[in-house]
Amino acid sequence: MPEGITTERLLNNIMETLTENVSKQKSVSFFEEEKSTSVNAQFNRLFGRQKPIHHLLGGGKSADVLLWRNKKISAGVLAGATAIWVLFEWLHYCFLSLLCFSLVIGMTTQFVWANGSGLLNSKRSPSKVPRLVLSDELFVNIAKTIGAEVKQALGFLQDVACEGNIKQFLVVVLSLCAAAMIGSYCNFLTVLYIGFVAAHTLPVLYEKYEDEVDSFVYNILGQLQHHYRKLDTGMLSKIPRGKFRGMKRE
């Protein structure tokens, strides 16, 4: 053994190298686990989704409103819808009476403005009342927007019915049945308001708690698949099917 190297120092060097190798292996395994969890979190999204919520909602101003990118605009839209629902549902206003009252208030305001300014300032000429001018393009754009949304919705339903994806088909059918059941207890305006509130709350909550919701839904789907397999092995697999095939061939 060379001079200056004792057995104690040699043992200390061996222990130091072992601890360094163990720490390196732990750090590598930690980073690999973190990378795998991030990859799983990236691809284990709800219904196989790989795009962000903002892109799925259209990626425009409507998506910004639904995801509360501008809180003042989103709160104003939701407050306006709530005010309309309260007027028609709680205060029992009908559309014709509300429209007539709004026109009366607008005409009264313009009448007072046009005649009162000349009486208060007799030396000055009466001020001109600004007129509300609606262009034809506004109504054309509204009609195009509504028509495009209806066309897209009908196209989506036809795609779901024709593509043969049984999971997506069942989800859409169950959603329509749930909407029909809700509509049997509420009127059309309340159903629209519930859908409007859900559209302004559920996407932003899902975007905030995305991982928790995805894991919860996948756990429920796993339990449903487990119960279906039990039902299939216990009851459905015992149902005879050969007789029906023979009858069809005959």
Could you read off the pLDDT of 103-160 as tens digits, one per residue? Answer: 999 999 888 888 876 666 655 666 677 788 888 998 999 999 899 989 999 999 999 8
The whole-number average pLDDT for the span 223-248 is 64
> How many C-beta atoms lie closer than 10 Å to residue 53's C-beta?
15
End-to-end CA distance of the chain: 95
Residue 1: predicted pLDDT: 44
Q: What are phi and psi of 165, to 5 degrees?
A: -80, 105
Task: Identify the DSSP state of 86.
Answer: I
Per-residue pLDDT tens digits for 59-102 = 778 888 888 888 899 999 999 999 999 988 888 888 888 889 98
Among 47-51, 53-57, 201-205, 219-223, the range scoring the smallest mean pLDDT is 47-51
Distance from C-alpha of 204 to C-alpha of 67, rounded to nearest angstrom: 5
Which of 55, 52, 53, 45 shows the shortest CA–CA distance to 214? Answer: 45
Q: Which two tokens stand for residue 122?
A: 């007799």
Tokens 């629902």 found at: 85
CB 50 within 8 A of CB 151: no
Which of 55, 77, 56 shows the shortest CA–CA distance to 68? Answer: 77
Rounded to 5°, the CA angle 185-85-76 comes to 135
> How many C-beta atoms lie closer than 10 Å to residue 46's C-beta?
14
pTM of the model: 0.56
Q: Which two tokens stand for residue 56?
A: 């799925």
Higher pLDDT, 11 or 159: 159
Residue 43: predicted pLDDT: 40
> How many C-beta atoms lie closer than 10 Å to residue 142's C-beta?
10
Among 114-128, 156-170, 185-199, 222-236, the range scoring the smallest mean pLDDT is 114-128
CB 204 within 8 A of CB 66: yes
Rounded to 5°, the CA angle 158-161-164 comes to 135
Q: Which amino acid is at 142?
A: I
Q: 208: pLDDT confidence band, cut at 50, 70 and 90?
A: confident
Among 16-25, 52-61, 146-155, the range scoring the smallest mean pLDDT is 16-25
The whole-number average pLDDT for the span 21-48 is 46
Q: Which two tokens stand for residue 14?
A: 């061996």
CB 160 within 8 A of CB 169: yes
Determine the length of the chain. Answer: 250
Higher pLDDT, 112 or 23: 112
Q: What are phi and psi of 228, to 5 degrees?
A: -65, -40
